[in-house]
Chain A
Amino acid sequence: MTRRLIERAVIAASWLAALLLFALFATMLAFLAVHAAPALDGDLLFGDADPWRAMIGEEMVWDGLWPALVGSTLLTLVALAIALPLGVAAGIAQAEFDSPALRASRAMTDLLSGMPSIVLGLSGFMLIVLLRGVWPDANVSLLLAACCIALLILPYPTVATRQALLRLPATLRLACDALGMSRMQAIFHVYLPECRQGIGAGAVLACGRALEDVAVILLTGAVASFGVPRSVFDPFEALPFFIMVTASEYRDEQQLARAFAAALLLLGLSALLFTLARRLQGKSVR
């Protein structure tokens, strides 16, 4: 009967936890909305620039969040484009093959997942500083920031893929063997599609992390004002960086309101990316 009691307690606790989370999240949203209200107008994104001309890059946006919005999106997409294939590949290798080097790489992935973003940013930054000795055009840029962010989020798809593969039922592997599939065929045509959900969860986490991190991009290419980057070798603006700089440097309430608005915008952006990710995931289900 103790089990019954534990079950009851767990059910009650899980309700409490869920309600607590809802309440906290709602409070946060409401708080952001209230404080962002003064800045939520037509000028939020483009300031006094003409929206259309700004969007096609003809006009520079000064008082708006548009460049930061574009910068954050680009950064996340480039970082994901690097980290996802790399992470899935690493996860496959770690789950499906075995060698001392691979066992070491598993430990190293864990270590990388524990590497603080500020340490990662610092090493990326110092690397560029040293690299300039041999390659004078090396500079902090969107590309460098995206590479560092990719390293930051690499463990998410790696671990998700590895875990999902390791948990595949043995019958599936037997069936593939019985059908005479090669290992690669089995991995790419049977196992991976089977692991979609696990990998998808990893990708979503990675996406959120790439979108929100400040400490890495602070040192590797984010700037307070530059406009929309024209190539991956340009510096870029980013929403979380804008929020941080404003939080530490604001002069008046209006500026602060824009930081809160930026936070809301960032939330909207991540909601959009997540929905997109889920759509893509859904599409691959036949």
Chain B
Amino acid sequence: MRTRLSGALLLAAAQVSTLWVVLTLLLFAWLGRPLWQDPAALASLAGFSWNPAAGQYGLGAMFAGTLLLSSGALALAFPLGLLCVLFVLALGPRVLAQLLRQVLTLMAGVPTVVYAFVAVWLLVPWLRDSAGVGMGFSWLAASLTLGLMLVPTVALPLIGVLAPADASLAPVCDALGISRAQRLLWVTLPAHRPLMLSVLLVAAGRAAGDTLIALMLSGNAPWLPHSPADPLRVLSAHIALSLATDTESTAYAAVYASSLLLLAWVSLSHLLSRRLVR
């Protein structure tokens, strides 16, 4: 009896996420009505021009912005995170490795708003005045900051899982005369590809969903950037910005469309990567 009850509880717990995702989808689909009921506005959604005053509600630029910023940030965070994992588990001296692990843990608790805040004061002026990158607030500035913010998201779960796994391989590898670095690089890591993918996905989700770094650093221009030095606007920042709009307007309804689009993108990327891993 007790077994059956705890089994049922476990299964119920597993469905909380399902429940919430479905609820959110239904809620937003319902709240977005003003937009779905306006054919002209609906048709403009897929475009690249966001100008509510002219009845244009194109989310194309913001969607592209989300893709560009996420990929920029992940391109930095994933290799950097992986290298940190290697350093902590095998390559670094014990003291430094422990220190790095603690720094990573601490970094996970630094609010994104603090990263963004510091970057506005240090990174942006540096990019503009020393590196000569446009006005500073840009795809590049946001990518670098977001990338740094994501390093612990990549590294910590990998460390948590790989440390015991790596240790369990130690006796065999020692007997074969394989060094710690070699063991990690050629045995442990390749054995955990699915894990790395899932970590990458979590990081990608955070990259797409982060609001404050994008809002404070990307420059938020609702257009397609021509280079990393240009500003761009991402969906999450667009949602935050639009929350100030007239709540009865079509532009406000576009908040829900943006949310749905963002969710659609996240699920699509999950589906795609699942296919790839098979």
Contacts and interface: CB of A to CB of B under 8 A. Distances in A.
Q: Do A and B bind each other?
A: yes
Interface of A: 3, 6-7, 10-11, 13-18, 20-22, 24-25, 27-28, 31-32, 35, 85-87, 89-90, 92-94, 96-97, 101-102, 104-105, 107-120, 122-123, 126-127, 130, 151, 154-155, 158-160, 163-164, 167, 169, 182-184, 197-198, 200-202, 204-205, 207-209, 211-215, 239-240, 243-244, 247, 259-260, 263, 266-267, 269-271, 273-274
Interface string B246-278: 000000000100010011001101100000000
Given A126-B27, A243-B117, A273 B16 contact: no
15 contacts: A7-B185, A10-B181, A11-B181, A17-B79, A21-B103, A93-B11, A93-B13, A105-B15, A115-B21, A115-B205, A116-B235, A116-B259, A160-B157, A201-B160, A212-B111
B108 A118 contact: no
Contacts of A90: 10, 13-14, 16-17
B150 to A, nearest CB: 12
B118 A21 contact: no
Contact of A89 (B10, B202, B208, B211): B10
Interface string B1-39: 011001101110111111011011001100100000000
Contact of B109 (A17, A27, A109, A211): A211
Q: Interface majority SS on A: helix, strand, loop or mixed? A: helix
Contacts, number: 285
A162 B115 CA distance: 31
A116 B209 contact: yes
Contacts of B112: 212-214
B202 A113 contact: yes
Interface in B59-117: 79-80, 83-84, 86-87, 91-92, 96, 99-100, 103-115, 117
B185 A113 contact: no
Interface stretch (B49-57, B130-138, B163-171): B163-171
Given A14-B84, A123-B27, A112 B105 contact: no
A159 B262 CA distance: 22
A204 B105 contact: yes
Contacts of A182: 3
A263 B114 contact: yes
A233 B151 CA distance: 36
Contacts of B11: 93, 97, 101-102
